[in-house]
Copies of this chain bind each other. A is one copy, B any other.
Amino acid sequence: MALVEQFDEYRSRMNERILGSDNLIIKRLFNLDTNTYAEGAVSSKTKELIGLACSMVLRCDDCVKYHLGKCHELGVTEAEMQEVFSIATVIGGTIVIPHLRRAVEYWDELQKGTE
């Protein structure tokens, strides 16, 4: 799980650094971000799938990794994930494919980690 651990370590370390500064606006945005994915009229799982697809079409590899991790925790199945990958790639076009490759690689690693 080298990819997953590297991503988590860097993300945690830098988030701590950012939240340790006096930047109130950023702190509140981080807080808002957490609340956005809370269980509600739409389930957390669906929200994470939405977050993942948005991250793919916006082509942000780190955002994709974060939401893949969350989807994995919430029990998203291989079949569900393949369909969300399809939606994002069709909406965003072939320009998304390099990000799809990295998403699939990371998703595979997440799933190996729990076997």
Contact = CB atoms under 8 A, between A and B. Distances in A.
B63 A29 contact: no
Query: Considering residues A18, A37, A40, A86, which has the most beta carbons from chain B within 10 angstroms of its beta carbon?
Result: A86
Interface in A42-89: 42, 46-47, 49-51, 53-55, 57-63, 77, 79-80, 82-89
B28 A32 contact: yes
Contacts of A32: 25, 28-29, 32, 90
A18 B83 contact: no
B57 A89 contact: no
B60 A58 contact: no
Query: 3 tightest CB-CB pairs across the interface, nearest first?
Result: A93-B93, A62-B98, A41-B79
